[in-house]
Structure 1
Amino acid sequence: MSDAVDPRRASAALLALGAIGLWGTLAAISTRVTAVPPFLLTGLALLMGSLVGFKAFRHKPPPAAALALGVYGLFGFHFFLFLALRLAPPVEANLVNYLWPLLIVVLAPVIVPGIAWSTRHGIAALVGFSGAALLIASSAGSLGQGAWLGYAFALASAVIWSTYSLATRRFSHFPTGYVAWFCALSGVLALACHAIFEPSYVPKAPEWPFIAALGFGPMGLAFFLWDRALKRGDPRALGNLAYLTPLLSTLLLVLFGGGALTPLSIVAMVLILGGAILGSRK
């Protein structure tokens, strides 16, 4: 039956939406721990996030190829994003970084066997990116002139996350439990970066609940859900759904008093939803 719903792809969409929902809370939670240096926050959160899959630590570590892929994705993404945010205005750096869902759609036919180019998915990705660009721009007071090196780092983080996401589909024989090891090793590397690049800091008691919320949510469980989703579903459709992240993030910030909706942001949200719907249709 051509109109039947593919249960595997339907479950993939639900898993991806779960990850996207958790990633949408990241900005709102992060506003409560702005004093914690970024690499320290990332390291602590990833180590806590690894506990989501604690059962994986009962078995031997993943092979070197799997660990290399995980560190490339989780640590590499955050490392280059933080460098970008230091060297370029955060708004523009964030915008360049949000090329990763578009790159998933564009690179899927190149990296994942059996995936062909789809004009519909390509258009949906462009519509979604246009919405994300408007949304990010509308939330900024002004757009400044940034360092090109910062933009290059932001693009590098987008390339890393998109290719990592597609590689998890290509190497579907790697079990999702490996993500626990990816989080743990990436967390240790992030703490090493904190020791090298950032002033020493000890989180205060009121900050620990928010660090734990980041670790077990958007920087823990979300990675497990995203990995499983990509191994079950069409990465082009999931890439288009990912543009719901900045939409949800903005709505939560507004809800908790961190911003206000404008006519431009409403138009942006319509574009994001339209792109997600177009890209998710079978």
Structure 2
Amino acid sequence: MPTRADLLALAAIALWASLAALGVTLAHVPPFLLTGLGLLVGSLLALPLSRFRLRAWAVPPATLALGVYGLFGFHLLLFSALRTAPALQVNLVNYLWPLGMVVLAPLMLPGLRWQAAQLAAALLGFAGAAVVILGGAGTGAGNGRGVLAGGWHAGYALALGSAFVWSTYSLALRRVPAFPTSAVGSFAAVSGVLSLACHAAWEPAVQLSPRDLALIAALGLGPLGGAFFLWDAALKAGDPRRIGLLAFLTPLLSTAVVLAVTGQALSTSLVLGGLMIVAAAAWGSRATTVRR
């Protein structure tokens, strides 16, 4: 039976699933500009959550630093990796973060232990994600494009860093003093400003159309806004190892959405990877429940 934390995590994952499709549509917008504007729009969701009381956004400096480390650090490393290495491999390495949550949870959070079934399920989930990403190379899903390229690229280390940042950020939310989920708005606002600073420093200026602005608003309300609030609430309420296993659904749903938007046929790799991911999530979740 899904728990409240499961449902919150699945809602965040459903919003993240739209990121690739929106990214394909907005591919002409420089990534840091897109992220910065999206995060600033997303931060506004904290207003109704806090009943329009800005003091509810206030958190200790260490907590704010953690939020900026997660939201800004993740995107900085990921976009830097995409600028220096083949996007397909970068995306695959980046999706080590759900596996990182399962592996690192007992090291970062007291009271949790490694379970062989959960580790095996996490590896199965990552294998399923690899099948989905590699099989969807031509769809544009999840930043995947082109074919696998040989050789080592420094961008792979950056992609591994982005995976490490998101997994440790997600776990560390349980280690800082309690704060209202609305305070995630301050994480997004500061990260958005820093992203726009990166845009000004590294990217060319572009003219945005009214359609671009509308899609960026949708991006901010969904995968670059609402998803972060839901993710925070889920991690506060549930077992991070179980939530990490559910996160392997993200590349699966993302690829499926892109296929639907672009009118492409369902692929064998998507079906096979999907079965592996669902099996991993069910296996790992059952292991957590039995352990409890």
- Measured against the shorter chain, the TM-score band is over 0.9
The counterpart of 1:62, out of the listed 59, 63, 81, is 59
TM-score, normalised via structure 2 length: 0.91
Match of 1:239 in 2: 244
Q: What are structure 2's unaligned runs of at least 5 residues?
A: 138-145
Q: Bigger shift: 194-203 or 149-158?
A: 194-203
Partners of 1:221 and 1:31 lie apart in 2 by 20
The correspondence for 1:45, drawn from 34, 38, 43, is 38
What's 1:17 paired with? 10
Answer whether contact 2:136 2:269 (CA < 8 A) is retained: no
Residues 112-166 of structure 1, C-alpha deviations (whole Å, 9 max, x = no match): 1111111111111101000001111111152113652100000000000000000
Q: How does 1:73-152 map to 2 (within 5 A)?
A: 73-140=70-137, 141-145=146-150, 147-152=152-157
Who is 2:273 aligned against?
268
CA distance in 2, matches of 1:131, 1:24: 16
- CA offsets per residue over residues 196-223 of structure 1, 9 Å max, x none? 0101123111111110111000110100
Unaligned runs of 5+ in 1: none
Q: What whole-Å deviation, never above 9, does each CA across 1:54-99 have from its counterpart, x for those lacking one?
A: 2376206321101100000000000000001111111100000000
Distance 1:109 1:187, change over 3 A: same
1:206 aligns with 2:211: yes
The answer as to 2:191 corresponding to 1:191 is: no
The Cα shift of 1:260 comes to 3.5
Matching residue's letter, 1:215: G
Residues 12 and 228 in structure 2, CA contact (< 8 A), matched pair in contact too:
yes
Runs of 4+ in 1 over 6 A off after TM superposition: none
Whether the 8 Å CA contact 1:109–1:116 is kept in 2: the answer is yes
Q: Would you say 1:163 and 2:156 are equivalent positions?
A: no
Q: Per-residue deviation at 1:21? A: 0.4
1:209-224 map, 5 Å:
209-224=214-229
Amino acid at match of 1:164: Y
- For residues 10-57 of structure 1, what are the alpha-carbon distances to aligned partners after superposition, in whole Å with 9 as ceiling and x for unaligned? 100000000000000111111111111000000000000000112376
CA distance in 2, matches of 1:61, 1:258: 45
Amino acid at match of 1:201: V
Give 1:188's aligned amino acid. Answer: V
Are the aligned partners of 1:113 and 1:170 in contact in 2 as well (CA < 8 Å)?
no
Q: Percent identity?
A: 54
**What's the secondary structure of 1:46's corresponding residue?**
helix
CA drift at 1:252: 0.7
From the superposition, tell whether residues 90 and 57 of structure 1 become closer, same or farther in structure 2 (CA, over 3 Å): farther
Q: For the aligned residues, what is the CA RMSD?
A: 1.5
Distance 2:215 2:79 in 1: 19
1:83 maps to amino acid: S
In structure 2, relative to structure 1, the CA distance for the partners of 1:108 and 1:99 (3 Å cut) is same
TM-score normalised by structure 1 residue count: 0.94
